[in-house]
């Protein structure tokens, strides 16, 4: 994408509202099952993203997380979630039909800027195994392994990463 197109993409990022949660949930499930399928078994993906659960975003809202999404022609093509209080990037998902077109890069730059604007010194995240290289390209370093147990009891063992923002 050109610099102009990237700028236009960032201009379409909005803070999510409850009406947006069902579409965000569909995107999450599609993105997890199609873009993470090389890193996880079918059973792990089923436990993680098998069932619709838009209320996960309502729970995020009540925890004070900032939830942003990016639209293109009225379709949500990516979302990202920040927990500013705990200096953490909680989620970043791109619709599989738009993957590899710098949408994730644009969302990451936007989320990093939000974190800097809130005067955070570091940003941490738990990366799915498939996205570790992506985050390394954006300056995050591995710090360890985390534990994440899915709905069916399978574990995803995400990679803990941090980036210095100063």
> Beta 122-127 vs 88-94: how paired, if at all?
parallel
Site for ligand COA, residues 69 to 108, rule: CB under 6 A: 91-94, 99-105
**Strands annotated E in 18-153:** 66-72, 75-83, 88-94, 122-127, 141-145
**Cβ atoms 114, 92 nearer than 8 A:** no
DSSP character for 149?
A: B
Pick from 7, 63, 116, 137 the residue near ligand COA by CB under 6 A: 137
Provide the 10 A C-beta neighbour count for residue 159.
Answer: 20
For the chain, the straight-line distance linking the first and the last C-alpha, in angstroms and rounded, comes to 28
Per-residue mark of binding to ligand COA, 13-32 (x: CB under 6 A): ------------------x-
Site for ligand COA in 42-71 (CB under 6 A): none
Q: Does 123 bind ligand COA (CB under 6 A)?
A: no
Residue labelled with tokens 């990679």:
159
Q: How far is the CB of 1 from ligand COA (least distance, A)?
A: 9
Between 103 and 120, whose beta carbon lies closer to ligand COA? Answer: 103
Least separation in angstroms between CB 70 and ligand COA: 10
Can you give the binding site for ligand COA, defined by CB under 6 A?
Answer: 31, 35-36, 91-94, 99-105, 127-128, 130-131, 133-134, 137
């Amino acid at each position: 994408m050109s610099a102009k197109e990237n700028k236009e993409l960032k201009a379409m990022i909005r803070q999510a509202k409850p009406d947006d949660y069902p579409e965000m949930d569909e995107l999450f499930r599609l993105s997890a099952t199609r873009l993470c399928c090389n890193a996880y078994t079918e059973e792990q993906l089923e436990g993680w993203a098998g069932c619709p659960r838009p209320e996960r975003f309502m729970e995020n809202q009540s925890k004070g997380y900032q939830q942003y999404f990016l639209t293109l022609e009225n379709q949500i093509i990516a979302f990202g979630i920040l927990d500013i209080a705990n200096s953490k990037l909680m989620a970043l998902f791109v619709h599989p039909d738009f993957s590899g077109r710098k949408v994730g890069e644009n969302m990451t730059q936007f989320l990093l800027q939000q974190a800097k604007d809130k005067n955070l010194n570091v940003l941490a995240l738990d990366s799915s195994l498939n996205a570790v290289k992506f985050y390394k390209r954006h300056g995050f370093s591995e710090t360890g392994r985390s534990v994440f147990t899915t709905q069916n009891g399978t574990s995803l063992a995400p990679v803990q990463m941090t980036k210095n923002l100063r």
